[in-house]
Structure 1
Amino acid sequence: MTMTMGDLPESCISHILCFTTPRDVCRLSAVNQTFRLAGNSDSVWNKMLPIQYPHLRARLDSPLEISSKKELYFALCHPNWIDGKTKKFWIERATGKLCYMLSARNLDITWGDDNRYWSWISQDESSFKEIAELVAVCWLEVKGQFDCKLLSPGAAYSVSFRLKVHESPRGIIRNFGRRAMIPHMPRAYGWNRKPLKFSLTTPCGDHQIYARYLSDMDKPVETEGYQMAPFRHVEEGWMEFDAGRFVVEEKDDNPGDIEFCMREWEGGNWKGGLLLEGVKILPTSLVTERAE
């Protein structure tokens, strides 16, 4: 007698599905009832969930009341708030890889608490409660770091700063923590003398640095000694500038931290009119798709 895949018991098919991807499980579940039942089992979707999900689930600002691992998987495919709504994480639907966005409040901004230089505002187009508005500085430095244990082992990632060049004061609602509002935010200025630099340092010490002139995105930066920073227009005027790419060590229990930075102090000139929403840490496959 000839046996086909459809003749295998459900438990055997579930075991086979554990070695595939979430996309494959969904496709194979359409083969027949046995595959569908196997594809709905907790044992299969427990393998699809990232190993960090219990830790991340405990940090959720709004607990998820979910009965099955498959339901949990797809609930985590949507952005979920953690750590007092200062970060968002989600998983890539097709692969289960972890994705993050850190708010500006998670970053170390030089003079960020001095309202002469930076202001914390709300804007309609941002999902975060606050974003950082650059009023005026001559020394611009924004730094951050992230623990690679919270990323998918073996995956390639890209780190990017999410910025908007301020064209007008529209969309600003209020200034948190103060009664006074800034009545007028000037158009961006001071970005024509030196390019804005974006850098990433990996746990192994690899240092990457890119640059872009905000006043003229096509102006070459090679004469300044830098490579052109890749960037993408997203929505509502926001842009994402890459700081670098790296691969998470697959067999390392403690892969270390990445460090990233955005800076411009070489010119010594005053600059302003920039909005900073935060930093994205995404699998490079998603970044490539957005760029196309």
Structure 2
Amino acid sequence: MGAVTSSLDSEHTSTSPTMQAKSNLHLFEEIVGQEIPAHEGTTRADETLVRGTGIVLANRKKYWVDNENKNCFKILATDLSITWGDDTRYWKWEEESDAGTTIKVAKLLQVCWLDIFGYLEQWYLNPEVTYEVSFEVKLEKGASGWSEPVEVGVTSADGVPQKSSVYLPQVERGKWLQIKVGEVKSQPGRTGNVSVFLRKATPEWKKGLLIRGITITPKK
């Protein structure tokens, strides 16, 4: 069964002129530049935020670094592929604060076919560092339809898959939790995506699950 651990919403400024020297953070300019194409130059204010509460990239990903300056990411719910996610009969989108920034979370109203998928460019991760991949979810107190385990999995850029099952009724309700999916280790020069999924298709109607996103952070 997949591991489930509690998440304490603690993942994680002054303004300065445009940076003259290249940042020592891994691929800092490339990440900010690719995720926000309209961004004109990288500022020290950006790097200050990345070292603190983090920055939201084009409403798709949250990017910050830990106390060892290693890249951390959250693939936000708005950047996930969620079956029926745009159908208001099945899903609702709500705004909330996430460690100092406002993001949208996906709230499941009712669905039989649960299928959620997301990915991150693996080269964004620091080379030779093992990362933990987790879904960040919350079960409401009135949630139902979770009598069977859900399947979670991650595939790294080298194509090696990891899969496990998680029994959601075992998790504490009304609290954001990290559901560990697996681990990946980025290699120098490796290109491709880290792909992550959570799914369950049964005749049983499921409701009361909130999705904040997928976190990819260095293993402690």
User: TM (normalized to structure 2)?
Assistant: 0.79
Matched-pair contact (CA < 8 Å) for 1:199–1:208: yes
State the Cα deviation string for residues 144-188 of structure 1 (Å, max 9, x = none): 111112111111111111100012xxxxxxxxxxxxxxxxxxx10
1:211 correspondence with 2:165: yes
Matched-pair contact (CA < 8 Å) for 1:57–1:63: no
Give the secondary-structure state (helix, strand or coil) at the position aligned to 1:56: helix
Partner residue, 1:112? 85
- AA aligned opposite 2:196: F
Seq. identity, %: 27
Aligned residues between the structures: 196
Matched-pair contact (CA < 8 Å) for 2:29–2:42: no
Give the secondary-structure state (helix, strand or coil) at the position aligned to 1:99: strand
Once residues 107 and 156 of structure 1 are traced to their aligned partners in structure 2, the CA distance between those partners, rounded to angstroms, is 23
Gap change, CA 1:190 and 1:75, over 3 Å in 2: closer
**1:187-266, aligned counterparts within 5 Å?**
187-192=142-147, 194-217=148-171, 237-250=175-188, 252=189, 254-265=190-201
Partner residue, 2:25? 49
Of Structure 1 and Structure 2, the greater strand share is in 2
Once residues 200 and 57 of structure 1 are traced to their aligned partners in structure 2, the CA distance between those partners, rounded to angstroms, is 25
Once residues 101 and 160 of structure 1 are traced to their aligned partners in structure 2, the CA distance between those partners, rounded to angstroms, is 9
State the Cα deviation string for residues 222-246 of structure 1 (Å, max 9, x = none): xxxxxxxxxxx8xx71001011101
Matched-pair contact (CA < 8 Å) for 1:199–1:209: yes
Q: What displacement does 1:205 show?
A: 1.8
Once residues 55 and 238 of structure 1 are traced to their aligned partners in structure 2, the CA distance between those partners, rounded to angstroms, is 31
Q: What displacement does 1:81 show?
A: 1.9
Q: 2:118 aligns with which of 131, 136, 144?
A: 144
Partner residue, 1:278? 213
Partner residue, 2:62? 88
Matched-pair contact (CA < 8 Å) for 2:127–2:186: yes
Gap change, CA 1:258 and 1:106, over 3 Å in 2: same
Once residues 73 and 107 of structure 1 are traced to their aligned partners in structure 2, the CA distance between those partners, rounded to angstroms, is 26
Once residues 71 and 97 of structure 2 are traced to their aligned partners in structure 1, the CA distance between those partners, rounded to angstroms, is 26
Of Structure 1 and Structure 2, the greater helix share is in 1
User: TM (normalized to structure 1)?
Assistant: 0.60
- AA aligned opposite 1:188: A
Once residues 117 and 61 of structure 2 are traced to their aligned partners in structure 1, the CA distance between those partners, rounded to angstroms, is 16
Once residues 166 and 97 of structure 2 are traced to their aligned partners in structure 1, the CA distance between those partners, rounded to angstroms, is 27
Partner residue, 2:96? 123
Matched-pair contact (CA < 8 Å) for 1:62–1:81: no
Matched-pair contact (CA < 8 Å) for 1:74–1:93: no
Aligned-residue CA RMSD in angstroms? 2.7
Q: What displacement does 1:215 show?
A: 1.6
Gap change, CA 1:106 and 1:72, over 3 Å in 2: closer
Gap change, CA 1:205 and 1:86, over 3 Å in 2: closer
State the Cα deviation string for residues 183-239 of structure 1 (Å, max 9, x = none): xxxx100111x102211111222111122211234xxxxxxxxxxxxxxx8xx7100
- AA aligned opposite 2:131: Y
Q: What displacement does 1:75 show?
A: 4.3
Matched-pair contact (CA < 8 Å) for 2:75–2:118: no
State the Cα deviation string for residues 21-46 of structure 1 (Å, max 9, x = none): xxxxxxxxxxxxxxxxxxxxx9xx95
**1:152-163, aligned counterparts within 5 Å?**
152-163=126-137
